[in-house]
């Protein structure tokens, strides 16, 4: 657990570093879990109860439409956070699933513990606000790309945003994220390799 918890604690150093008392408070409020490949940490209609930090492995957040087609919304790998914001803050049933793509180690923090940290130390409020703001920026960029970018431009943006995942994810997952077919993704990759 020591190596993994250090990854979590180090992730805050990018924003407002924590002192020893803050690190101890956080470490005492997170739950470490080992997750198997294809295991869900959130299912549609459940209420999201945790912010989840990925210490090892990779997750996808997705929705399944009425035709049974999966639409990937986000990926989270090492040193990243994943959650369903509306569900956790408003205690509404989730509209999405969060599933492990690989065997993973995560740290989860419950909403009540999160509020304790916010109330008792302003650094946590700022750090978690930056995490949520980063998700908002990603979502706004995705919306803009969806309405104004070509599939090739969306793919190049994906590579830029997730350079460490390009080789770890199957084409079907990347294509779903981009809103294209796996065959069209193969064509884009082939065209780019010729340039």
Residue 35 belongs to a domain: yes
Judge whether 117 and 124 are in contact, CB under 8 Å. Answer: yes
Q: At what angle are helices 20-27 and 2-11 packed, to 10 degrees?
A: 120
Q: What is the mean pLDDT of the chain?
A: 92
Q: In a 3-state reduction of DSSP, which class is residue 131?
A: helix
Examine the pLDDT at 104 and tell me if it is beyond 70.
yes
Residue 93 belongs to a domain: yes
Residue for token digits 């981009």? Answer: 178
Residue 180 belongs to a domain: no
Residue 140 belongs to a domain: no
> Which pLDDT score, from 0 to 100, does residue 3 have?
61
Residue 172 belongs to a domain: no
Among residues 73, 81, 64, 74, the alpha carbon closest in space to that of 132 is found at: 81
> Which pLDDT score, from 0 to 100, does residue 33 have?
96
Examine the pLDDT at 134 and tell me if it is beyond 70.
yes
Residue 53 belongs to a domain: yes
> Which pLDDT score, from 0 to 100, does residue 15 have?
86
What is the Cα–Cα distance from 162 to 144, expressed in whole angstroms? Answer: 18
Please give the model's pTM, rounded to 2 decimal places.
0.90
Looking at residue 57, which CATH number applies to its domain?
Answer: 2.60.120.10
Containing structural domain, residue 25 = 2-120
Lowest mean pLDDT among 32-36, 48-52, 56-60, 146-150: 146-150
Q: What is the mean pLDDT of residues 97-113?
A: 96
Say how many domains are in the chain: 1
Residue 70 belongs to a domain: yes
Q: At what angle are helices 151-161 and 171-178 packed, to 10 degrees?
A: 120
Q: Tens digits of per-residue pLDDT, 9-53?
A: 999 988 889 999 999 999 999 999 999 999 999 999 999 999 999
Residue 149 belongs to a domain: no
Give, in degrees to the nearest 5, the angle at Cα 21 between 88 and 11. 55
Examine the pLDDT at 2 and tell me if it is beyond 60.
no
Among residues 97, 128, 106, the alpha carbon closest in space to that of 16 is found at: 128
Phi, then psi, of 27 in degrees rounded to 5: -60, -30
Phi, then psi, of 59 in degrees rounded to 5: -130, 160
């Amino acid at each position: 657990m020591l190596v993994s918890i250090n990854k979590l604690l180090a992730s805050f150093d990018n924003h407002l570093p924590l002192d020893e008392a803050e690190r101890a408070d956080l470490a005492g409020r997170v739950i470490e879990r080992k997750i198997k490949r294809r295991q869900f940490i959130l299912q549609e209609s459940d209420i999201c109860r945790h912010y989840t930090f990925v210490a090892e492995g990779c997750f996808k957040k997705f929705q399944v439409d009425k035709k049974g087609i999966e639409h990937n919304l986000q990926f989270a790998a090492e040193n990243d956070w994943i959650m369903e914001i509306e569900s956790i803050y408003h205690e509404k049933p989730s509209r999405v699933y969060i599933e492990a793509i690989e065997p993973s180690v995560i740290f989860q923090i419950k909403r009540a513990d999160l509020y304790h940290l916010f109330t008792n130390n302003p650094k946590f409020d700022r750090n978690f606000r930056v995490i949520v703001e980063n998700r908002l920026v990603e979502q706004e960029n995705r919306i803009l790309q969806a309405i104004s970018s070509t599939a090739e431009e969306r793919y190049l943006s994906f590579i830029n945003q997730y350079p460490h995942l390009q080789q770890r994810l199957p084409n079907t997952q990347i294509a779903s994220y981009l809103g294209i077919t796996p065959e069209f993704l193969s064509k884009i990759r082939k065209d780019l390799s010729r340039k």
